[in-house]
Amino acid sequence: MISASQSEFIERLRAAGQARYHDRHPFHARMHDGALSRAELALWALNRYYYQTRIPIKDALIVAKSEDPSFRRRWIHRIADHDGVAEGDGGLALWRRLAMALGVKEGDLDDPGAILPGVRRACDSYVELVRSATLLEAVAASLTEFFAPALMRQRLASWQKHYRWVPHEALEYFRIRIQRAEEDAAGALELVIALATTPELEQRATVALVKKADLLWQMLDAIQGAADANEVSHASPPQ
Amino acid sequence: MISASQSEFIERLRAAGQARYHDRHPFHARMHDGALSRAELALWALNRYYYQTRIPIKDALIVAKSEDPSFRRRWIHRIADHDGVAEGDGGLALWRRLAMALGVKEGDLDDPGAILPGVRRACDSYVELVRSATLLEAVAASLTEFFAPALMRQRLASWQKHYRWVPHEALEYFRIRIQRAEEDAAGALELVIALATTPELEQRATVALVKKADLLWQMLDAIQGAADANEVSHASPPQ
């Protein structure tokens, strides 16, 4: 049972996260309006892949923070969701296929030097935030997933309308994440509610979520900046 | 294929670990000779449980150190081996059953204050060693598992002979670990060989293994010390 004060906390948390979530970033607006070139989509997918590669690492750090086997059992599937249970399986492999369908060279995916410095800084800051945070803060930071399914749905609809040259199967990561992110966010929210037992802890959880949302935003700032600097072509040859 | 210099390294590593492994600790000698009281076995099982609870934490830290999804896939099962995939399942639950069969109160298993300070220090040092180590060193430290199956076999045989009051099913953890430790050690050794690409790295791996072996030894020193101080009864009422 959720108490009245817990349900107020959930609302504050949700409002704070929503206000900073990167779905409203101008780069996403352009993406959803069909205004991005193929090169810009590739730039985004390559740089976002670096973020994806940080997820299993930060989730392993979260598992290591818990003294409770039942918590660890609940969290650990997130690592396999991205790493897969076999080669070519899992979220990272799906993202690689997406990036390559957008024209990213496979070698660039494994080259840290190919990632924009601002993106690397934001992603590495997220891992360091999780490494140094309490379990509550680290779990709260993951709650941007709460807003991910709506963004994924919007992205799927917009890509199928505006970027029809992208093969249907390349979008599989987005499809899979809609349901997984919903489940993961619901589970993480339960944990945050259970751990945030004082107003001060509620505040620390909210701050962690805001910091995480800001890091996602900063990644898009860096990508937008590189696109504006004409580091990638704005021409969009649909092959 | 293992080169000649790699096979020399494996021999040096094995010799260094074997020389310090706690199978030759006087407390183990007494255990295997059937000289421990029921209270001493309970003291050992309670304190060793704290070590068991550190294993999934240090393994999650090792997973977080790797940039390679295929390494993480190979390592992550170790966490589930101890935490189980459901409540009451896995190595930790088996160890709790062993400890309770020896007379440990369940509440003491969850009370950090019930653990001997020297044991806690040794176990916490192991987690900190893994946290601050390179991936190579952290994996090398796990190689005490190389010597575990022989110790487990000896323990099983000796307990079945000398401590016949211990229920057969309470020894399940030892039975399960014989095979798992063999597989885990073989996998970890492959990884250490692959990562230790210079004489300096070979030396660092060897030092990490020796440090880990020393921590296991220190745990038994602390347990032996508490037993000697008559903190537990030497009488052995077989109920």
Residue B16's pLDDT is what?
96
Element (H, E) at A107: helix A106-109
- The string of pLDDT tens digits covering residues A192-209 is 999 999 999 999 999 999
- The string of pLDDT tens digits covering residues A210-222 is 999 999 999 999 9
Say yes or no for a CB contact (<8 Å) between A61 and B60: yes
What is the token pair recorded at A33? 């309006």
- Which chain B positions have a beta carbon within 8 Å of A86's beta carbon? 73
- Helix A91-101 and helix A69-83: axis angle, to 10°? 30
Count CA atoms closer than 13 A to B223's CA, side-chain side: 32
Taking alpha carbons only, the member of B116, B123, B122, B99 closest to residue B229 is B116
Does residue A1 register a pLDDT over 90? no
Task: Say if residues A122 and A222 touch (Cβ distance below 8 Å).
Answer: yes
- The string of pLDDT tens digits covering residues A21-43 is 999 999 999 999 999 999 999 99
User: Residue with structure tokens 């108490």?
Assistant: A3
Count CA atoms closer than 13 A to A16's CA, side-chain side: 21
User: What Rg value do the Cα atoms of chain B yield, rounded?
Assistant: 18
Residue B230's pLDDT is what?
67
Of all residues in chain A, the percent with pLDDT exceeding 90 is 93
- Which chain A positions have a beta carbon within 8 Å of B57's beta carbon? 64, 67
Task: Say if residues B114 and B108 touch (Cβ distance below 8 Å).
Answer: yes
Whether the CB of A84 is below 8 Å from some CB of chain B: the reply is yes
What is the token pair recorded at B133? 């180590």
Whether the CB of A64 is below 8 Å from some CB of chain B: the reply is yes
Taking alpha carbons only, the member of B236, B239, B174 closest to residue B34 is B236
Distance CA A180, CA B164 (A): 50
What is the token pair recorded at B50? 């704290």
> Helix (H, G, I), strand (E, B), or coil: what is residue A208?
helix
- The beta-carbon neighbor of A72 closest among B56, B72, B86 is B56
Does residue A170 register a pLDDT over 70? yes
Residue B55's pLDDT is what?
98
Distance CA B2, CA B5 (A): 8
- The beta-carbon neighbor of B70 closest among A58, A63, A87 is A87
Sketch out chain B's domains with CATH numbers: 7-228 (1.20.910.10)
- Across the A/B interface, how many CB contacts are shorter than 8 Å? 63
> Helix (H, G, I), strand (E, B), or coil: what is residue A33?
coil
Whether the CB of B114 is below 8 Å from some CB of chain A: the reply is no
Give the pLDDT band of residue A237 (cuts 50, 70, 90). Answer: very low
* Total residue length of chain A: 239
- Which chain B positions have a beta carbon within 8 Å of A115's beta carbon? none
Question: What sign for the dihedral angle of Cα A133, A135, A137, A143?
Answer: positive
Whether the CB of B19 is below 8 Å from some CB of chain A: the reply is no
Residue A239's pLDDT is what?
40
Whether the CB of B92 is below 8 Å from some CB of chain A: the reply is yes
Whether the CB of A72 is below 8 Å from some CB of chain B: the reply is yes
Residue B59 to chain A, least CA–CA distance (Å): 8
Say yes or no for a CB contact (<8 Å) between B73 and A86: yes
Say yes or no for a CB contact (<8 Å) between B73 and A85: yes
Say yes or no for a CB contact (<8 Å) between B73 and A83: yes
- Which chain A positions have a beta carbon within 8 Å of B70's beta carbon? 87
Whether the CB of B86 is below 8 Å from some CB of chain A: the reply is yes
Burial of A100 (0-12, 13-18, 19+ CB in 10 A): middle
- Which chain B positions have a beta carbon within 8 Å of A79's beta carbon? 63, 72, 76
N-terminal to C-terminal alpha carbon distance within chain A: 55
Residue A91 to chain B, least CA–CA distance (Å): 11
Say yes or no for a CB contact (<8 Å) between B69 and A61: no
Which residues of chain B carry a pLDDT beneath 70?
A: 230-239
User: B83, B87, B111: which to substitute to probe chain A, counting the most A Cβ within 10 Å?
Assistant: B83
Q: What is the DSSP letter of A24?
A: G
- Which chain A positions have a beta carbon within 8 Å of B82's beta carbon? 69
Count CA atoms closer than 13 A to B74's CA, side-chain side: 15
Residue B232's pLDDT is what?
54
Alpha-carbon A83 to chain mean position: 15
Residue B228's pLDDT is what?
93
- Which chain A positions have a beta carbon within 8 Å of B85's beta carbon? 73
- Which chain B positions have a beta carbon within 8 Å of A53's beta carbon? 67
Maximum separation of any 2 CA atoms in chain B, in Å: 57
> CB under 8 Å, gap of 24 or more: what pairs does A155-164 form?
A155/A31, A155/A32, A158/A31, A158/A32, A158/A33, A158/A34, A161/A34, A162/A33, A162/A34, A163/A34, A163/A36, A163/A41, A164/A238
Say yes or no for a CB contact (<8 Å) between B63 and A63: yes
- The string of pLDDT tens digits covering residues B94-140 is 999 999 999 999 999 999 899 999 999 999 999 999 999 999 999 99
Taking alpha carbons only, the member of B177, B121, B111 closest to residue B147 is B177
- The beta-carbon neighbor of A76 closest among B57, B58, B80 is B80
Residue A236's pLDDT is what?
47
For chain A, what is the mean pLDDT? 94
ipTM here: 0.93
- The beta-carbon neighbor of A69 closest among B64, B67, B84 is B84
Neighbouring C-beta atoms of residue B175, cutoff 10 Å: 14
Does residue A109 register a pLDDT over 60? yes
Residue B71 to chain A, least CA–CA distance (Å): 10
pTM to 2 decimal places: 0.94
Taking alpha carbons only, the member of B185, B128, B130 closest to residue B152 is B185
Query: Average pLDDT in the A158-172 region?
Result: 97
